[in-house]
């Protein structure tokens, strides 16, 4: 089960990036704006993860700071789906994040 949860954790990281891209590309805006948002939103999340979330992060977060960072980072994926009008997907994504991250804390992952 622990190995499966690690796989789910990786997939929800990718899911947050995909959700940010989906939000950007579904904006009701001129084409250059949708392209900028569709590519820029996941790029911003990648930079944040590299700086604060990854195991080799320059500004590695710990404890409550780490929890707040992950709530904001993964929450942005759910928020992006919600903003794009995909409410059922936003709720499902948020639920999977909560369950998987809770198991990770319990199992020390």
Best CA proximity match to 70, nearest among 106, 38, 90, 45: 45
Q: How far apart are CA 96 and CA 91, in angstroms?
A: 9
CA distances in angstroms from 16 to 32, 78, 96, 108, listed in the order given: 22, 7, 12, 22
Q: Give me the residues of the chain with pLDDT under 50, please.
A: none
Number of domains the chain contains: 1
φ, ψ (nearest 5 deg) of residue 27: -60, 145
**pLDDT score at 63:** 87
User: Cα-atom radius of gyration of the chain, to the nearest Å?
Assistant: 14
**Domain range enclosing 31:** 2-107
**pLDDT score at 18:** 97
Best CA proximity match to 74, nearest among 5, 4, 18, 3: 18
User: Residue 45, Cβ neighbours under 10 Å: how many?
Assistant: 22
**pLDDT score at 69:** 92
């Amino acid at each position: 089960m622990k190995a499966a949860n690690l796989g789910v954790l990786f997939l929800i990281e990718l899911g947050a990036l995909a959700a940010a891209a989906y939000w950007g590309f579904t904006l009701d805006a001129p084409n250059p704006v949708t392209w900028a948002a569709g590519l820029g939103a996941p790029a911003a999340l990648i930079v944040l993860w590299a700086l604060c979330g990854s195991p080799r992060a320059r500004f590695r977060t710990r404890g409550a700071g780490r929890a707040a960072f992950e709530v904001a980072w993964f929450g942005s994926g759910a928020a992006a789906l919600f903003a794009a009008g995909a409410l059922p997907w936003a709720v499902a994504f948020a639920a999977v994040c909560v369950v998987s991250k809770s198991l990770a804390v319990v199992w020390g992952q």
